[in-house]
Amino acid sequence: MTLSHDVVGDGPALVLLHSGVCDRQMWDAQWLPLIDAGYRVVRCDFRGFGGTPAPDRSHSDPEDVLALLNSLGIGQAALVGSSYGGYVALEVAAQWPDRVNTLALLCAGLPGHEPSAELNALGEREEALIEAGDVAGATELMVETWLGPDADESAREAVRRMQRHAFEVQMSAAEEFERIEAEVDLAAIQAPCLAVSGAHDLADFRQIAVRLPDLLANAKHLELPWAGHLPSLERPSVVTDLLIGFLKESVPVS
């Protein structure tokens, strides 16, 4: 199955990978500026999000991303990942390091990270609400948890809409299929990496961003004092400028 996606622009390839509470529309504010900056920009929906159907078999999100790159004739790309999208970006870069030239990770997850009691409790609350049929309540829990204090109502409504749609798509599936987990060696990643954290985010993701410079060969950490878990939605123009500045250091455009 080919992931639902958009691709526009010329120049070096840049792939945007969404968080687990959003879909590819979370990049609306960055989409045109990144194209205008000289990149060929791709954004996709993982299985069960946005325009991509729920899985009908066990699947691997990194393999889906690789298949998309292959279908578009992209040999090497920069990956920008938010939260779960950052987790997937790390998996892609570790398994196929020659296909990734740069990583920009916004409050990313980390393969092998042991969730804190706080994060586990959040997952249990979400699951309990879904099992009780309270999709609206589960959606609001996600909106309130993952957006920081700078998020305006338009950002909250966007996450509300994307998360509610993802719940509906995933709940409508006849069967739930597992995600295939691969063993990855992060030491294989040689691409330069910017690991961004938000001061108002859950501790897990702040700790991951701090750890990444020790785990990767060429990574640096930046904490945004104003940000929650989804900074690209909370202060879109600030994050757009941050991404373009970092990308142009490692993936210059002609």
DSSP code at position 253: -
Q: Which residues contact 112 (CB under 8 A, 6 or more apart)?
A: 184
Which of helix, strand or coil describes residue 165? helix
pLDDT at 15: 98
Q: Which residues contact 152 (CB under 8 A, 6 or more apart)?
A: none
Which phi and psi (to 5°) does residue 161 adopt?
Answer: -65, -45
Q: In this structure, which amino acid lies at residue 132?
A: A
Under 8 Å between Cβ of 111 and 87: yes
Q: Which two tokens stand for residue 76?
A: 């090497």
pLDDT at 130: 95
pLDDT at 173: 84
pLDDT at 2: 87
pLDDT at 14: 98
pLDDT at 175: 82
Low-confidence ranges of the chain (pLDDT < 70): none
Residue with tokens 């719940």: 167
Among candidate residues 28, 27, 84, the one with its CA nearest the CA of residue 61: 84
Q: Into how many domains does the chain fold?
A: 1
**Helices 117-131 and 135-146, axial angle in degrees (round to 10):** 160
Give the neighbor-by-neighbor strand order of the sheet with 40-44.
Answer: 5-8, 40-44, 13-17, 77-82, 100-106, 193-198, 219-224
Q: Tell me which residue range forms the domain holding 47.
A: 5-250
The CATH number linked to 161 is 3.40.50.1820
Under 8 Å between Cβ of 23 and 166: yes
Pair type for strands 5-8 and 40-44:
antiparallel
Cα separation of the two ends of the chain:
34
| Distance of alpha carbon 100 from alpha carbon 91, whole angstroms | 11
Which phi and psi (to 5°) does residue 103 adopt?
Answer: -130, 130
Under 8 Å between Cβ of 43 and 18: yes
